[in-house]
Structures are given as C-alpha cells and as structure tokens.
Amino acid sequence: MATAKAHTNIALVKYWGKRDQDLILPHTDSLSLTLDEFYTTTTVEFDDQIDADAVSINGEPLSGKAYDKVAKFMDLVREMSGKTEFARVTSENYVPTAAGLASSASAFAALAGAASKAAGMELSRRDLSRLARRGSGSATRSIFGGLVEWQRGVDDATSFAEPIEEEVDFGIEMLAILVDTKEKKVSSRFGMQQSVETSPYYKLWPEIVADDMVAMKRAIEDRDVDAMGQIAESNALRMHALTLSAQPGFTYFDADTLAAMDEVKALRENGVSCYFTMDAGPNVKVIYDKKDRQVIYDALAQKFGADRIVVSKPGPGIEIWD
C-alpha cells in the first residue's frame, strides 16, 4: 500500500495535440506552473481478494470511461511490475473535477506515484513522469514543482518533464476565477484530436509553440513576470483558435469567460500588469506578480464574488509515502 500527493499544473505554453494516442506523445513541448492550492491525494492497495480494480474519488465509486482509464493505467503498472493482483484505488481530489483546472494532471501524477510504489517499483522522478504521461498528458508535468518543461521527445523513453525552477524564487502567482465548475462538454482528449485532424491552422501550432518556448524560458531567466504573462496569454488564445477553427468548430469559453478576459484587460488598461490563460474549460486563470495581488483580487472579487476566486502560489512536486 502507498499514498501519493500531487499538485495540478497550469500550462503557460500549452500542450494541444498528440502524435501517438496510445503512448500519449505530444506534437510539441509545453511549459507549466505547478500550483499549491489544487491537488490530489491517492492511495493504492493491492488486494488478492478482489477480481477487478475498485476505484473511488471523493468517496464515490468511479464508473464508465473515467474508470476504464484508471483500470487501463493499472494494467500498465501490473505489466511493468509483474504484480498480478487488482487494487483498491482511493482518491481525494482538491480540484474542481473536469472544469479545466486540470484535475487529470494531479490525478494521474498521484496515481503513478502511489501505484508504482505499492507495486514495489522505485521509479526515478523522470520515470514517474513518463509513467504519469501514459494516464494523461498534463500529468507528465505534475511530478515536479514550480516551473516545469515537458519535452515532447521522440518516443516513450524520451518524452518526460523536467523542472526548470522547482523553487520559484520570484513573484509569479496565479489566481483562478471559477466561472463554472460543472463537467466540461468536450473532453480535452477529443477536443485536441479534433483540432489536430480538422483545423487548417494546426500546422502552424508547432512553430508557435517552438517560438513561445524559447521566449518563455528567456522571460523566466529574466524573472520577467510581465513577459511571461504576455507570452502565456497569446499562447492560450492561439490554442483556443484551434478549437474555433476545427470542423465542426467549438469553444471552451462561455459568457463569463469573456467577461473575465475583459476584466483582466481593463485592469491592464489601468496600469496593473496581469494576463489571462484558459484551458479545456470555461475558467480563467490570471497570471501576475504577487506585489499586485491585492488590487487584482479586489477587482475580480467585486465582479465575480470572492467565493469564486482562488489565489495560488507555485506548488511543490509529488510526495509519495507508505
């Protein structure tokens, strides 16, 4: 039996599209910030008395497609470790599930950590990152804390994440505006594949990401939070243009998403440096330097309600224990 705690991450340069569906090999690199406020704790216990994996999240048994993903992941862990028993998987998610706050990132990172240890494997963090990748792409990055880069690699052995700065020693912070915490309509898995296969703009995406990765790493080196925000915002908008330009086109934005984007722009017009990013859901995350936290928080809390705003600092990497 083993337990792991992993934090979610939000990409500043997004992963959007796979070139290998089964191994989850992405078309591009990506770069993220791990957050301290959102995390998953998962316990895995192998049990020779059960005849299928038993999975629960926040006390509710998991079923359907979500269960199948976990069971498939556990099959991979059994194959790697030689373990034959099924397992009880108990997970507590401190992330609004499937609302674009990347619950699958912390979920599969924690599962990779707990399942591999419970199965008797002592994996390096690089190999844990590769294993987490097989559950969900964004989970690859959640093994590490702080600012993290996922190198797309060319195969299973070379596609893993590495920390850029695990202990972030400058002021970058992120605040989430929870405009909607309901389950999203288009899964990211389906949405990104639809974009790869049908958006005429997809062929530009690898070039955009390559440029943004270089610029983002330079901005990190320079501790330039304003530049980091600018690059992240433009990268997010270009990612979302891939959904709008798919056939049929779709969007993860709703009216509140647009209202939140406007509010961030209004703050900027008033001289406050802050930028937005959105993932596969309607929620908006705001990137800023902590010195500006209060003024940004006050404006957004007034508009959307303090109960919908979650401020998060950079978070740590995975912890695993018996």
Per-position x/- string for 113-152, each x denoting binding to ligand 2P0 as judged by CB under 6 A, each - no binding: -----------------------xxx--------------
Strands 30-47 and 54-57: unpaired
Q: With respect to ligand 2P0, which residue has the nearer C-beta, 69 or 78? A: 69
Q: With respect to ligand 2P0, which residue has the nearer C-beta, 5 or 240? A: 240
User: CB under 8 Å to 19, separation ≥6 — which residues?
Assistant: 25, 26, 27
Three-state DSSP at 148 gives strand
User: CB under 8 Å to 281, separation ≥6 — which residues?
Assistant: 98, 99, 100, 101, 180, 184, 252
Q: Which of 2, 11, 115, 241 binds ligand 2P0 (CB under 6 A)?
A: 11
Helix axes 188-198, 225-244, angle to 10 degrees: 70
Q: With respect to ligand 2P0, which residue has the nearer C-beta, 184 or 292? A: 184
Q: How far apart are CA 299 and CA 123, in angstroms?
A: 45
Three-state DSSP at 49 gives coil
Identify whether 248 is preceded by a cis peptide bond (ω within 30 of 0). yes
- Of residues 27-56, those binding ligand 2P0 (CB under 6 A): 30
Is 279 a binding residue for ligand 2P0 by CB under 6 A? The answer is yes
Q: With respect to ligand 2P0, which residue has the nearer C-beta, 31 or 267? A: 31
Least distance to ligand 2P0 from the beta carbon of 20, Å? Answer: 11
Is 188 a binding residue for ligand 2P0 by CB under 6 A? The answer is yes
Q: How far apart are CA 118 and CA 109, in angstroms?
A: 14
Piece of the chain touching ligand 2P0 by CB under 6 A; list 14-22, 59-67, 218-226, 310-318 = 14-22
Q: Which of 6, 147, 246, 280 binds ligand 2P0 (CB under 6 A)?
A: 280
Q: How far apart are CA 322 and CA 301, in angstroms?
A: 41
Are 266 and 276 in contact by the 8 Å Cβ rule? The answer is: no
Is 243 a binding residue for ligand 2P0 by CB under 6 A? The answer is no
Per-position x/- string for 76-115, each x denoting binding to ligand 2P0 as judged by CB under 6 A, each - no binding: --------------------------x-x-----------
Is 315 a binding residue for ligand 2P0 by CB under 6 A? The answer is no
Q: How far apart are CA 36 and CA 141, in angstroms?
A: 14
Is 24 a binding residue for ligand 2P0 by CB under 6 A? The answer is yes
Are 105 and 280 in contact by the 8 Å Cβ rule? The answer is: no
Three-state DSSP at 135 gives helix
Piece of the chain touching ligand 2P0 by CB under 6 A; list 10-18, 115-123, 164-172, 197-205 = 10-18
Q: Which amino acid is at 2?
A: A
Q: Which amino acid is at 146?
A: G
Least distance to ligand 2P0 from the beta carbon of 135, Å? Answer: 7
Piece of the chain touching ligand 2P0 by CB under 6 A; list 13-21, 36-44, 268-276, 295-303 = 13-21
Q: What is the CA radius of gyration of the chain?
A: 19
Q: How far apart are CA 177 and CA 71, in angstroms?
A: 33
Q: With respect to ligand 2P0, which residue has the nearer C-beta, 138 or 199? A: 138
Least distance to ligand 2P0 from the beta carbon of 21, Å? Answer: 8
Least distance to ligand 2P0 from the beta carbon of 56, Å? Answer: 20
Q: With respect to ligand 2P0, which residue has the nearer C-beta, 236 or 267? A: 236
Which chain residues interact with ligand 2P0 by CB under 6 A? 11, 14-16, 24, 30, 102, 104, 136-138, 188-189, 279-280
